[in-house]
Amino acid sequence: MRLKNAFIISLAAFMLLAGLLYAEGDTGLDETIDSFTRMIEEDPSNADAYFKRGNIYESKGLYDQALSDYNGAIDLKPKYTEAFINRGIVYYKRGENQKAILDYTKAIELDPSYDEAYANTGLVYVKLGQYDQALYYYDKAIDEYDEDSSLYVDRGKAYNENGMYKEAMGDFSKAISLNSVNPEAYLNRGLTYAHDGKFDEAIADYNRSIELDTGNAESYLSRAISYANKKQPEKAMADIDKAMELKKEYPEAYLNRGNLYFNDGHNDIAILDYNKALELNGQYAEAYFNRGIVYARQGDYAQAICDYTKALDLRPDCGEIFFNRANAHLNQGDYDRAISDFTKNIESEKDIDSYTNRGIAYARKGLSSEAIADFNKALEINPKSAQAFFNLALVYDSKVQYEESLKCYDKAIKVNPKYVEAYLNRGIVYSNRTQYDKAIADFNKVMSMDPKSGEAYFNRGLVYDNQGKYDKALLDYGKFIELNPDHMSGYINRAILYVKRGMYDQAIDDLDKATQSNPKSASAYFNKALVCEKAGRMNDAIEAYKKFIEFATPRLSTYIEGAKDRIAELKDYTGR
């Protein structure tokens, strides 16, 4: 299961507002508005008064009034470049991106050297996810003025979003060379280092960013993520706490703290943090996704699927979410939906895990040809995938094509000489082919790598049993029971071996233990009835047959009828 550490610093750049503001504080701003209003009343053709009053409305978040004033300024002065710029900023803040682009384009038409117009246009295209267009405008802005550190930071962010990390690193370093006290440049260069897995370098940049701006919650959270990746959870938790102290309602902080709890095995606490992240941001796909992963770890696949589906509603092109939802369907036994989701992930990523797991779903549906095709596709991607060879072998086992399965187990072991399950399964195939010496050699190899492998002792016991080496078989069944005291198979097989040796009391004792392990085991009761008859314990045999009838399934109807007949015969024999 893959856990995505889903925190991304948002692309929030400063949009350059043309013109000056005249007072600080709401009271001062209101007085300034009144002053400009009087100026307009005295001279309705004063475009500058409209423009400057619009700036104050914009700073107060009164966007309708700001737009009205910028419109008035432009009506009076159609070539008012700064008014187009600032009206574009208001449109951007209102989410009217196309109108913002039209205003910035008009400003550029009026003044082709206006770097702020290019920069602001770039920011709109970043918001729209059109990074090539954004980079074009940032390039134009830098062509006009290449000494502005913030322009390099903004272009670096666009490079990052476009997957051009080397170029982003160059821009952030350039920004720092122009302004060595620009905290945002250090923060974003740190993010780029972190993306490359260079967490020490990232932490150094976050440290510098925090030195320059101690109130930036994003720097603390970003450093926390790097600490988490360095397996330093205490430092990560301390930084997340600080980020939450600085920014009270911070969904990304709750998400990443939830990730820390998840990694530490505290699933219920992790869910509480993901819940809080979603309370703060109901459109947070990563929070749904990560909470789904926790539910899947807990075995609550229905709830996991619900969360993955909500995440996909928000991120419909994310293959990783399809992959995890497919695994949940697979664990539920819903193979058709699992295959559908694995297929969607393959369409976007074509990764080996999706082919492997889809192959498993096909195999469980009994679609051997499709399963084999998927495992072979996985081997095309990675010719040294021991897991793919192993899964192929399992399919051939199910088809009783032992020659092919042995070849695949051999290849899996060649790739991974410590593949315990491959040795175990190959040993079972050798046993089925009565190649007992080879089977024993494989089971011995398993025991040497995993001394607590009950399956190896059990299967070696079967081999010894088939060879008539009953003492050795008894020892192996005994070892299996020691390792798996609640597993009835060991008791039943040892009981059968006791019967072969005429040790009926010991056999009955083992069959009683088998029924204690599984009180509804029809086979255990049936075998006990047979052994009790051999031991002359007819009343015990009658009771065992009754239990068999109680728990036997309809497919054992022939045996049920035989048991009823045998009960009648035994009753006649005992006079009951």
Q: What mean pLDDT is reported for the chain?
A: 93
Of 195, 224, 253, which marks where a domain is finished? 224
Summarised one tens digit per residue, pLDDT across range 306-332 is 999 999 999 999 999 999 999 999 999
- C-alpha to C-alpha distance for 400 and 491, rounded to whole angstroms: 28
In a domain, 542, yes or no: yes
Whose CA is closest to 407, among 374, 431, 383, 429?
429
**CATH at residue 571:** 1.25.40.10
pLDDT for 18 beyond 70: no
pLDDT for 9 beyond 80: no
Summarised one tens digit per residue, pLDDT across range 524-567 is 999 999 999 999 999 999 999 999 999 999 999 999 999 999 99
- C-alpha to C-alpha distance for 34 and 196, rounded to whole angstroms: 54
Task: Tell me which of 331-340, 342-351, 474-483 is least confident.
Answer: 342-351
What angle (nearest 5°) sits at the alpha carbon of residue 208, between those of residues 205 and 209? Answer: 85
Question: Which band of pLDDT confidence, cut at 50, 70 and 90, is reported for residue 10?
Answer: very low
Of 206, 224, 242, which marks where a domain is finished? 224
Token look-up 């020892």 returns: 475
Summarised one tens digit per residue, pLDDT across range 105-130 is 999 999 999 999 999 999 999 999 99
Summarised one tens digit per residue, pLDDT across range 467-504 is 999 999 999 999 999 999 999 999 999 999 999 999 99
In a domain, 235, yes or no: no
Q: What's residue 19's pLDDT?
A: 47
DSSP per position, 193-221: HHHTT-HHHHHHHHHHHHHH-TT-HHHHH
The pTM for the full model equals 0.80
In a domain, 571, yes or no: yes
In a domain, 172, yes or no: yes
- Bigger pLDDT: 8 or 204? 204
Q: Give buried/exposed letters for 85-119 (b at 16+ CB in 10 A, else e).
A: bbbbbbbbeeebbebbbebbebbbebbeebbbbbb
For the chain, give percent helix, strand, coil, nearest 5.
75, 0, 25
In a domain, 291, yes or no: no
In a domain, 76, yes or no: no
In a domain, 464, yes or no: no
pLDDT for 20 beyond 70: no
pLDDT for 253 beyond 60: yes
Of 208, 224, 240, which marks where a domain is finished? 224
In a domain, 339, yes or no: no
Share of the chain above pLDDT 90, in %: 92
Query: Can you give the residue range of the structural domain that contains 186?
Result: 147-224
pLDDT for 5 beyond 50: no
Domain count of the fold of the chain: 2
